[in-house]
Structure 1
Amino acid sequence: MPTRSAAHKYLKTVKKEFQDNPGKYNTFLKVLKDFEAGRIGTNAFITRAKDLFNGKQELLLGINVCLPEGSAITIENDQNPPKTSLTFSDAMRFIRKVKTRFQDDDHSWNSFLNSLISFRKDHKSVIKVVHEMTVLFQDHDDLLEEFSLFLPPSFAKKT
């Protein structure tokens, strides 16, 4: 189990890496806080960190100090990521799942739909949609984690 000092050392490394881009560091801190508070799951946390770190191996490996046992990132896994392609059916299944979950909460269901429609028609940024979904799904880790599977790998770069 990593020590608190190892975690602090890792955060200093990340901060130094992004000294010219404090927004990226702050985004990482928010994602880390969401993970630690249980608002996002391990897979969503790893996915977002990989997107933020954009292949920086030392940062990806260092993130292991933040992960629970058995969830460590390895170089082999990062060099050969599993290829999964989501289909329209997967998207529809997820939408039905959200609709079922919020069947008694019209406001949340409408917020979900409006966010997706705005993204598609009004060209709302992916970052903005991710933020809205993080708030909307704050008590529904499984939905947030599944939603993250539909995000493009470079979503953190689009603001």
Structure 2
Amino acid sequence: MYLSYTYRTDVSGVVERVKELFKGHNNLIQGFNIFLPKRYKITVDEDRPSPRMIDAHTEAIYFVNKIHKRDENIYTSFLDVLNKYRAGHTDIIKVLTKVASLFEDHPDLLEEFISFLPG
């Protein structure tokens, strides 16, 4: 026996489902907004980061503090490299090359740094 089900929903239903599925992932909601008519745009609380962002930020702070405890010169150079990247004065390959040389004697730090890089 073959049964066919047709499930239909309106835009409001889709918006509610997306809010539920993407809750706490503001970047996904903002990306989905591209496909919605303006009157259905989903607003996100920009001032309140998602729990995932908070965890990543906490890990990054812990990581930077770990570098500082090991060697202040490496710490200062590391922050300099990151600031140059953030300002657009260098690319990610140069950052990785410089960080690899800075962490030459600290392979665990290099491995942790690489885990922060975008996939």
Unaligned runs of 5+ in 2: 1-51
Give the counterpart of 2:58 among 89, 112, 126.
Answer: 89
Q: In the aligned structure 2, how far is the partner of 1:109 from the partner of 1:148? A: 16
Where structure 1 has 5 or more consecutive residues not aligned to the other structure, the ranges are 1-83, 154-159
Distance 2:81 2:59 in 1: 19
Asked which structure has the greater RCO (Cα within 8 Å, sep 6+), the reply is 1
Instruction: Measure, in 2, the Cα distance between the counterparts of 1:120 and 1:140.
Output: 24
> What percentage of residue pairs aligned between the two structures are identical?
39
CA distance in 2 between partners of 1:93 and 1:123 (Å): 26
Residue 101 in structure 1 maps to residue 101 in structure 2 = no
Tell me the TM-score normalised to structure 1 length: 0.39
TM superposition outliers: structure 1 runs of 4+ over 3 Å: none
State the secondary structure of the residue aligned to 1:95. Answer: helix
Aligned 8 A contact 2:84 2:90 in 1: yes
Tell me by how many angstroms 1:122 deviates: 2.6
When the two structures are aligned, how many residues end up with a matched partner?
A: 67
Distance 2:86 2:56 in 1: 17
Name 1:116's counterpart in structure 2. 82
Aligned equivalent of 1:140, options 103, 106, 115: 106
Whole-Å separation in 2 of the counterparts to 1:129 and 1:111: 11
TM-score with structure 2 setting the length: 0.51
SS at match of 1:87: helix
CA shift digits 1:100-149 (9 cap, x unpaired): 1114xx3x222111001001113421111000011000110100000001
Cα offsets for 1:38-66 (capped at 9, x unmatched) = xxxxxxxxxxxxxxxxxxxxxxxxxxxxx
Q: Aligned runs of 1:66-77 on 2, under 5 Å?
A: none
**Aligned residue number for residue 128 of structure 1:** 94
Distance in 1, Cα, partners of 2:57 & 2:76 = 21
Contact in 1 for aligned 2:64/2:75 (Cα 8 Å): no
Q: Letter of the aligned partner of 1:87 in structure 2? A: A
Note if 1:151 corresponds to 2:117: yes
